[in-house]
Amino acid sequence: MTMTLAQRERRAATAPTGLPRLLAGRPDLAGHLAAFGPLPPVAAEMQAMTARAGLTGRGGAGFPTHRKLEAVAGRRGPRVVVANGTEGEPLSAKDKTLLIQAPHLVLDGLDLAAQAVGASRRVICIERGNQAVYAAVCVALAERRDESVEVVVTPRRYVTGQEAALVDFIDGGPGRPTRERPFERGVGGRPTLVDNVETLAHLALIARFGPEWFRQVGSPGSPGSALITVGGRVDRPGVFEVAMGTPLSSVLQLAQAAPPRAVLLGGYFGRWIPARSARQLTLDAASLSAHGAAVGCGVVAVIDDDSCAVAELARVAAWYAHSSAGQCGACTWGLRDLAAATSALEAGSPDPRVTSDIQRWTAMVKGRGGCRLPDGAVAFLESGMEAFADEIAEHQAGRCRRRDHRLLPTPTPEAWG
Amino acid sequence: MRAKVVELDPIACDGHGICHELLPERITLDDWGYPIIDRRPLTDDLLAHANRAVANCPVLALRLKTVELVIDERMRRGGRGAA
């Protein structure tokens, strides 16, 4: 039986139960409205609803979304909202998946955020080289007959996805981090809200079905669902929508992971968790913070006994060095030397100074960048050195027999324009 | 109670190292010659030196920031407290 569009919209006003939520979305506008119904006029209540929902940013920092809305709404003059879909984290695919499968949820969220903070300018940023993502966004905007959203294609560089760097790029700069705080001085010098695209998509569902519905899934401290990208030594890599608070072991099962030696949680900006600790963890802020970890951008990568972890550490350390914008001394030179030392470790240098240098330099560069890139390198390397201490000793003795499976991708960043 | 601390803009800093020469009590250099700032409050005897360090930075990467001090007993006993 066929239904008119209006009939479909009415029927879809019932809230989805269980999961998936975001990934129940459809690429086309008719399918989107059939799945979720039209956007109700709730912009004025959006801040309060977001606070009650307890939504936190899904881009990596996990900051409470309502506080970001408040910070920009409370400013004077014209304001700007930026949907950040750059997803420069090499292991992460969830934002690309979301933009291809449910672009209208993201665009609904962008509209809501703009109305909630009183923004007159809306921008969506995606990284160069993802044709399907670009097409999905452009087609969705055409379907909505919305010509006033600016689509900005950013260079393939991790740091350009950082808020202030993104603002710099939108304004015609090279896309390097700056000292400005976007909520004070962002795009065009205007107060600017920069939110991850998944965060905005959750906003679109909270507007429709309410904060209590949002909290029906997840744990009290970490409510809602999240998109998780699972990679490394797994048979079924990909993007999964899970409830926050899900045991990490269930996520590994979904992806049919090999028995892990360690799990990288939060991507290259996250930490390595040894298997014995990983077994007890849930994807919940409280459970993870006890191990210094966080859900971050939702990347889970598995390494098993057969895989050489030090080779992975060395490649990612080199990726970090190449990713530096070259602005801050500790980042430019510190990450270069850390990459060289990690590479020497992989090559089997028995010199004990190599490990003591890594320890000295991680401590030395921590907190000393204009952005948090060096801090990401430190967390990745420090936790890796600890989780793979046994294998490091094997390398120093020249007897690591594990295979290099090249599990962690390290794309070369585009040159600075 | 208010006090002043040294603050660095690491993006502007080019590692000339003059600040370390002028205020070694709060500014050391890392392995690459870039300043590491000790954010403990400046004592009165260091203020003039700190002002000279700020004024002599060739790229204006340093400034003094006024902070509100929370007096912590551990700090009084000489431990390293946060400003």
CATH label of the domain that carries residue A274: 3.10.20.600
Domain of residue A108 covers 5-215
Give Rg (Cα) of chain A.
22
Q: Is A187 exposed, middle or buried (0-12, 13-18, 19+ CB in 10 A)?
A: buried
Which residues, in sequence order, are CB contacts of A86 under 8 Å at separation 6+? A95, A125, A126, A127, A154, A160, A161, A166
Mutate to test the interface with A, among B34, B60, B62, B63 (most CBs of A within 10 A): B34
| Whether A319 and A297 share a structural domain | no
| Distance of alpha carbon A257 from alpha carbon A253, whole angstroms | 6
What whole-number distance in Å separates Cα of residue A122 and Cα of residue A143?
A: 17
Residue B13 near chain A (CB below 8 Å): yes
Mean pLDDT of B4-33: 98
Residue A45 neighbours by CB under 8 Å, 6+ apart: none
Query: What integer pLDDT is reported at residue B71 of this predicted model?
Result: 66
- Nearest CB among A177, A330, A369 relative to B30 is that of A330
Same domain for A195 and A136?
yes
Residue B17 has pLDDT above 90, yes or no: yes
Instruction: Tell me the residue type at A197.
Output: V
Which residues have CB under 8 Å from A102's CB, separation 6+? A22, A23, A24, A25, A26, A27, A32, A201
Q: What is the pLDDT of residue A1?
A: 44
In this predicted complex, what is the ipTM?
0.88
Residue A69 to residue A114: CA distance in whole angstroms: 9
Answer yes or no: do A317 and A344 share one domain.
Answer: yes
Chain B 27-46, residues with CB within 8 Å of chain A CB atoms = 30-34, 36
Chain B CB contacts of A370 under 8 Å are 9-11
Tell me the nearest-neighbour CA distance from B63 into chain A, angstroms: 14
Question: Which of A162, A197, A215 is the C-terminal boundary of a domain?
Answer: A215
Residue A19 included in any domain: yes
Q: Which of A337, A361, A370 sits opposite B10 (nearest CB)?
A: A370
> A173 and A78, same structural domain?
yes
DSSP state of A145: T
CB contact under 8 A, B30 and A329: yes
- Calculate the CA dihedral of residues A15, A20, A22, A28 and round it to 10 degrees: -90
User: What CATH number corresponds to the domain at position A368?
Assistant: 1.20.1440.230
Same domain, A123 and A137: yes
Beta strands A299-303; B27-29: pairing state: unpaired
Inter-chain CB proximity B32 and A179 less than 8 Å? no
Terminus-to-terminus CA distance in chain B, angstroms? 11
Output the domain CATH number for residue A65: 3.40.50.11540
> Does one domain contain both A92 and A209?
yes
pLDDT score of B80 more than 50:
no
Using the Cβ of A181 and the Cβ atoms of chain B, whether some distance falls under 8 Å is answered with no
Task: Assess whether A92 and A180 both reside in one domain.
Answer: yes
Q: How many domains does chain A fold into? A: 3
Q: Which of A258, A273, A303 is the last residue of a domain?
A: A303
Q: Are A387 and A273 in contact (CB under 8 A)?
A: yes
The DSSP letter of residue A366 is: T
pTM of the full structure: 0.92
Cβ neighbours of A247 (radius 10 Å): 17
Domains, chain B, ordered by start: 2-76 (3.30.70.20)
Q: Is B48 on the interface with A (CB under 8 A)?
A: no
pLDDT beneath 70, residues of chain A = 1-13, 417
Of the candidates A105, A188, A160, the one whose C-alpha atom is nearest the C-alpha of residue A324 is: A160
A60 with A122, same domain: the answer is yes
- Choose the closest CB to B34 out of A177, A330, A360: A330
Q: Does A134 contact B at CB distance below 8 Å?
A: no
**Once rounded to an integer, what is the mean pLDDT over residues B10-21?**
98
Domain end (from A270, A303, A336): A303
DSSP state of B57: -
Same domain for A166 and A55, yes or no, is yes
Closest partner residue to B9 (CB to CB) among A179, A331, A334 is A179
Tell me what pLDDT residue A55 has.
97
d(CA A28, CA A15): 19
In a domain, A79, yes or no: yes
Nearest to A110 by CA among A101, A100, A120: A120
CA distance A406 to chain B (A): 32
Residues A88 and A117 grouped into a single domain: yes
Query: What is the nearest CA distance from A61 to chain B, expressed in angstroms?
Result: 21
Strand, coil or helix: A219: coil
Interface check for B9 against chain A (CB to CB < 8 A): the answer is yes
Q: What is the mean pLDDT of chain B?
A: 89
Q: How far is B4 from chain A (nearest CA, A)?
A: 20
On whether the CB atoms of residues A265 and A273 are closer than 8 A, the answer is: yes
A245 in the same domain as A348: no
A positions 349-378 inside 8 Å of B (CB): 360-361, 364-365, 368-370
B58 to chain A, minimum CA–CA distance in Å?
16
Band the pLDDT of B69: cuts 50, 70, 90: confident
Quick one: pLDDT at residue A417?
66
* Chain A, chain B: beta-carbon pairs less than 8 Å apart: 47
Q: Which of A336, A338, A368, A372 to mutate to test the interface with B (most CBs of B within 10 A)?
A: A368
Give tens-digit pLDDT for B22-51: 999 999 999 999 999 999 999 999 999 999
Residue A220 lies in a domain: no
- Same domain for A13 and A91, yes or no, is yes
